[in-house]
């Protein structure tokens, strides 16, 4: 037998001889790298990979609407913003909306929410927590349960149900969309609907659809994080809520021209 023939036989039988040992030492599926890596080094590499690809702690603060409104009714300053801190799986969200009447010199609306958020699908998070309204009085605290995310065709939606300490149940739905006219010029339609399950006279809110709002804003992104805009905003009170508004001598419907800045970091 020549040396070449002997080498060929060894090559053929070596995998068969090693098979039992490999079968006994084979790790569970999904952890093959542990055969070659030190256990502690392997865990450190996994932790680093997780941190760099979604497992790290991050944050974002967004002032979606920071604007001056003028037109029908009193001029006003409006700030609507939100921010989050946490990982891809667990986040603390803070949301706020403040509406200040410049003629009257008081707050028409001042609201703050603190929510825990967790993903339930690729593009949607479920949120739960507390909301406190400082204005309009009387101040009131609510339990909150909602959902926020990106619907098909790139609609950004945010819906929530609120249960107050007095047992009042209400809901809110918001949606917006961004048309990229150019890489920097963006047209953004937006709508907001508010509902109440029952009449709440102390808050001048009637059952059913209470208020509806629609706006159209055109912004120019000087930088992705800094974008001035102009637009129009329409708001109306509906049903028994409109009756409360008429009773205090105010208009149930208003159209305002707006100018503001959208920024995030």
Residue pLDDT, tens place only, 188-216: 999 999 999 999 999 999 999 999 999 99
pLDDT for the residue numbered 18:
45
pLDDT for the residue numbered 8:
46
pLDDT for the residue numbered 255:
94
Burial class (CB in 10 A: 0-12, 13-18, 19+), 135: middle
Please, are residues 242 and 253 in contact by the beta-carbon 8 Å criterion? no
Please, are residues 112 and 98 in contact by the beta-carbon 8 Å criterion? no
The Cβ of residue 220 has, within 10 Å, a number of other Cβ atoms equal to 14
What are the pLDDT digits (tens) for 28-53? Answer: 555 667 777 788 888 888 878 777 77
Q: Provide the token pair at 101.
A: 């009447």
pLDDT over 60 at 27, yes or no? no
- Predicted structure pTM score: 0.81
What are the pLDDT digits (tens) for 154-191? Answer: 999 999 999 999 999 999 999 999 999 999 999 999 99
**Please, which pLDDT band fits residue 17 given cuts at 50, 70 and 90?**
very low
């Amino acid at each position: 037998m020549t040396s070449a023939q002997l080498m060929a036989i060894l090559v053929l039988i070596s995998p068969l001889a090693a098979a039992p040992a490999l079968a006994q030492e084979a790790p569970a599926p999904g952890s093959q790298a542990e055969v070659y890596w030190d256990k502690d080094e392997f865990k450190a590499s996994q932790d680093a990979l997780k941190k760099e690809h979604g497992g790290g702690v991050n944050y974002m603060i967004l002032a979606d609407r920071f604007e001056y409104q003028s037109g029908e009714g009193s001029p006003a300053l409006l700030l609507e913003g939100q921010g989050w801190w946490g990982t891809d799986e667990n986040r603390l969200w803070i949301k706020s909306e403040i509406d200040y009447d410049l003629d009257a010199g008081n707050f028409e609306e001042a609201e703050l929410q603190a929510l825990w958020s967790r993903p339930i699908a690729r593009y949607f998070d479920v949120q739960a927590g507390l909301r406190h309204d400082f204005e309009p009085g009387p101040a009131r605290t609510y339990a909150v349960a909602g959902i926020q995310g990106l619907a098909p065709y790139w609609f950004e939606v945010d819906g929530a149900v609120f249960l107050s300490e007095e047992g009042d149940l209400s809901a809110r739905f918001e949606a917006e969309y961004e048309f990229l006219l150019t890489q920097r010029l963006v047209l953004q339609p937006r709508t907001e609907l508010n509902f109440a399950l029952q009449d709440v006279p102390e808050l001048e809110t009637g059952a059913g659809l209470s208020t509806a709002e629609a706006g159209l804003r055109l912004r120019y992104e000087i930088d992705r994080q800094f974008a001035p805009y102009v637009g129009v905003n329409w708001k109306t009170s509906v049903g028994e809520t409109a009756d409360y508004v008429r009773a205090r001598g105010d208009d149930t419907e208003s159209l305002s021209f707006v100018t503001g800045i959208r920024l995030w970091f």
